[in-house]
Amino acid sequence: MNSADQLPARRVSAEDVEIIRQQLGRPPRAVYEVAHRCPCGLPDVVRTAPRLADGSPFPTLYYLTCPRAASAIGRLESSGLMREMTERLQHDAELRAAYTRAHESYLAERAALAEKLGLEPLPKGMQSAGGMPKRVKCLHALVAHELAVPGSNPLGREALDQLPPWWDRGPCVCSDRSEKTERNGKDQ
């Protein structure tokens, strides 16, 4: 049994857990619910519990699962975009304030989910995600945050706006369902 199966009040179907497992190439950890679905219909962002089943902290609240989106974001990261965004944070007070609000909102959402699930809150000072609030360390986390909570993360939005439509080739999972869809050229 993986840790996602041991969480209280989980709100994700067994089918979605299997799709996410295939997308990641491993069992997902601490999945609470699907936070966003790709235009292809499959999960692309999950909301995770703040702690694993063994009680270990799991600070990433929104986790990107779609391999095509992750690959496209990786190309943005390697382009130097994170360095440019971090530099802008140092000189743009409005952007810095919006990014700080995204960080504070992320922490509040994570604490609220811990409380809802009856889990011990994460220690004060534990990171939120993606380098917030002072730098940009992981566009995957920022885009996941923005997809899950539209309008929440200004730098996640900027990165998302630069991504190609990763869903255009159909569902991004190696299941029989997606293989049939891609062969037949139609949605199921």
Confidence of residue 174 (pLDDT cuts 50, 70, 90): low
Domain spans of the chain?
A: 3-178
How far apart are the C-alpha atoms of 66 and 167, rounded to whole Å?
9
- Dihedral of CA 102/153/39/137: which sign? negative
Which residue matches tokens 């975009």?
81
How many CB atoms lie under 10 A from the CB of residue 158? 19
What pLDDT does residue 185 have? 37
Residue 3: pLDDT above 50? no
Q: How confident is the model at residue 11 (pLDDT cuts 50, 70, 90)?
A: confident
The 3-class secondary structure across 44-74, one letter per residue, is EEEEECCECCCCCECCCCEEECCHHHHHHHH
Give the integer Cα–Cα distance in Å for 20 and 3. 14
- Lowest mean pLDDT segment, chosen from 8-12, 108-112, 173-177: 173-177
Q: What is the pLDDT of residues 35-71, one digit of tens each?
A: 999 888 899 999 999 999 899 999 999 999 999 999 9
Sheet holding 43-48, edge to edge: 31-37, 43-48, 62-64
Centre a 10 Å sphere on the Cβ of residue 35 and count the other Cβ atoms it contains: 23
128, 132, 122: which is closest to 96 by C-alpha?
A: 132
Q: Of 44, 43, 49, 64, which Cα lies nearest the Cα of 142?
A: 64
CA distance 163 to 26: 25
What are the φ/ψ torsions at residue 40 (nearest 5 degrees)?
-75, -10
Paired tokens of 61: 């609240």
